[in-house]
Amino acid sequence: MVELTPLPLIITANAAVGKRWANLAAEVLGGVIGGLICLLGTADLAGARVLSPAPNVDMQRALDLTVMATGLLAAAVASWPVRSRIARVLPIDSQSPVQALALSLSVILFGVDIASISFTDVLASANAQPPLSLGDLVLDQMPFLILALLGVGLFSRRQLSDSLDRLGLVGPSWWHLAIALAAAGAFFGFSQQMDSLSHATTPHPVRAVHRHPGGARPRPRAWPGQEIHEHHRSVCLPHQLQLVGWHRYRRCSRERGHRGRGVADRRVGLRGLEAPPQRRSLRRRLTDWLVRLPAQG
């Protein structure tokens, strides 16, 4: 129920609408929520480890500093000088404490997401989570529904029917359904294209995930690094170094009738693979050194 943390602030902001101290409440509430986020980044930087772990120390420090900067920015946009200038660009009511708090929460959501995607292993975190059921999916979205209803003033400024109308939760027309289906198809096609683009432009996370025989779920592996695959008997390396296996040295094998890399890798041991001695490039020398490093350790 971490998503319900700003609930008291939302209730206070709705109570302050139309009051003489509405502007003060907007600045104080934005400063409180921004200060909490900044304290989270500071605590993690001090060693409390309250944020998601990063792959290394430098990225963890960058994550903490980004979260701290996000908290400061969220508090800054709630101040009257900044908020009044933003209202000239965005269609918001600069006098409303509810919209001022919503502006601060939007900055926090955007900044924390950017920090998590940029400096943490999102792939490993996603695979570490248990599979979601339909009930889990519904329960995970319930806090957002509660925040939305109370955010538009349910039980404080509006009744239930007015709150549903304000959120747009009304009976759909036929053209609403047509637009929804068209949008779903467009988003599905967009996600497929983005997935193909990510495989083409960032193959490292894809190389770092391998699938075991029998339909097991993928397991994340740290990158960059090396790892001997227990089934395929190959070494997972960055794409600049290429995978080292029988397919790299198949001309040196005396066996015949190989139909695939999996069969050949079981017949040819990794320690017995030797690169041709003539004209070994720097990349090949580095590859051989990475292959022999686990055996020496």
Domain boundaries in the chain? Answer: 1-130, 138-170, 222-297
Structure tokens at 99: 């919209």
Q: Which residues contact 163 (CB under 8 A, 6 or more apart)?
A: 149, 152, 153, 154
What's the pLDDT tens digit per position in 147-190?
999 999 898 888 888 888 888 888 888 898 999 999 999 999 99
pTM over 0.75: no
pLDDT value of position 52: 85
Does 85 have pLDDT greater than 80?
A: yes
pLDDT value of position 4: 85
Q: How many CB atoms lie within 10 A of CB 29?
A: 25
pLDDT value of position 196: 84
pLDDT band at 239 (very low <50, low <70, confident <90, very high): very low
CB 219 within 8 A of CB 205: no
225: left (phi over 0), alpha (psi -120 to 50) or beta: left
d(CA 214, CA 60): 36
On average, the pLDDT of the chain sits at 76
pLDDT value of position 224: 43
Q: What is the DSSP letter of 219?
A: B
Bridge partner residues of 244 (DSSP): 235
Cα-based distances in Å from 206 to 75, 194, 237, 243, 246: 38, 14, 11, 13, 21
Does 262 have pLDDT greater than 90?
A: no
Residue 269 or residue 18, greater confidence: 18
Does 297 have pLDDT greater than 80?
A: no
d(CA 209, CA 185): 28
pLDDT value of position 49: 86
Does 115 have pLDDT greater than 60?
A: yes
Q: Which residues contact 277 (CB under 8 A, 6 or more apart)?
A: none
pLDDT value of position 278: 54
Q: What is the DSSP letter of 54?
A: P
Does 116 have pLDDT greater than 80?
A: yes
What's the pLDDT tens digit per position in 196-237?
887 777 765 555 544 444 344 444 444 444 444 444 444 444
Does 124 have pLDDT greater than 80?
A: no
* CA pseudo-torsion sign 7, 9, 11, 13: negative
Cis peptide before 213 (omega within 30 of 0): no
pLDDT value of position 195: 83
CB 258 within 8 A of CB 264: yes
pLDDT value of position 35: 94
Structure tokens at 2: 């971490």
Average pLDDT over residues 136-142: 85
CB 64 within 8 A of CB 51: yes
What value, to the nearest 5°, has the Cα angle with vertex 84 and ends 78 and 89?
110
Does 95 have pLDDT greater than 80?
A: yes
pLDDT band at 286 (very low <50, low <70, confident <90, very high): low
Average pLDDT over residues 88-98: 91
